[in-house]
């Protein structure tokens, strides 16, 4: 099942497909919503740190899956009801410092 999810993520559209106005909204979401658990400076809190250094070895597709589907048994909720695959990839790129 996990390999099927990875194949689906590989078919995600490029993160650049996010409109500039939506990118602004997503950045605000990362700062406010993600920041409420991961810290406003993304240095960690209830959730793990989301700094570029902490995510240096994470791949964008894996991060997008975590964003979309959450992590069962933890406080990380699924955001799939609110985000598209392209938006999750945009957030993954943003967290890794690779946003266009």
Instruction: Evaluate whether residue 72 is within a structural domain.
Output: yes
Tens of pLDDT, residue by residue over 79-88, are 999 999 999 9
The runs of H, that is alpha helices, within 11-80 are: 20-29, 35-38, 60-69
Question: What confidence category does residue 96 fall into, taking pLDDT thresholds of 50, 70 and 90?
Answer: very high
pLDDT 10s digits, 4-23: 455 444 445 454 589 999 99
Which pLDDT value is given to residue 99? 74
For 26-49, the pLDDT digits (tens) are: 999 999 999 999 999 999 999 999
User: What angle do helix axes 2-10 and 60-69 make, rounded to 10 degrees?
Assistant: 110
Q: What is the CATH number of the domain that holds 18?
A: 1.10.760.10
Number of domains in the chain: 1
Mean per-residue pLDDT, 49-66: 96
Q: Give the domain extent around 40.
A: 2-95
Q: What percentage of the chain has pLDDT greater than the value 90?
A: 81
Sign of CA dihedral 80, 83, 87, 88: negative
């Amino acid at each position: 099942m996990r390999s099927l999810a990875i194949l689906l993520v590989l078919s995600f559209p490029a993160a650049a497909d996010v409109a500039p106005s939506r990118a602004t909204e997503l950045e605000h979401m990362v700062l406010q919503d993600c920041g409420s658990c991961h810290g406003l400076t993304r240095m960690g809190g209830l959730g793990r740190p989301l700094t570029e250094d902490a995510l240096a070895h994470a791949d964008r597709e894996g991060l997008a899956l975590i964003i979309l589907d959450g992590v069962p048994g933890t406080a990380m909720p699924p955001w799939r009801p609110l985000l598209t695959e392209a938006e999750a990839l945009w957030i993954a790129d943003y967290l890794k410092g690779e946003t266009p």
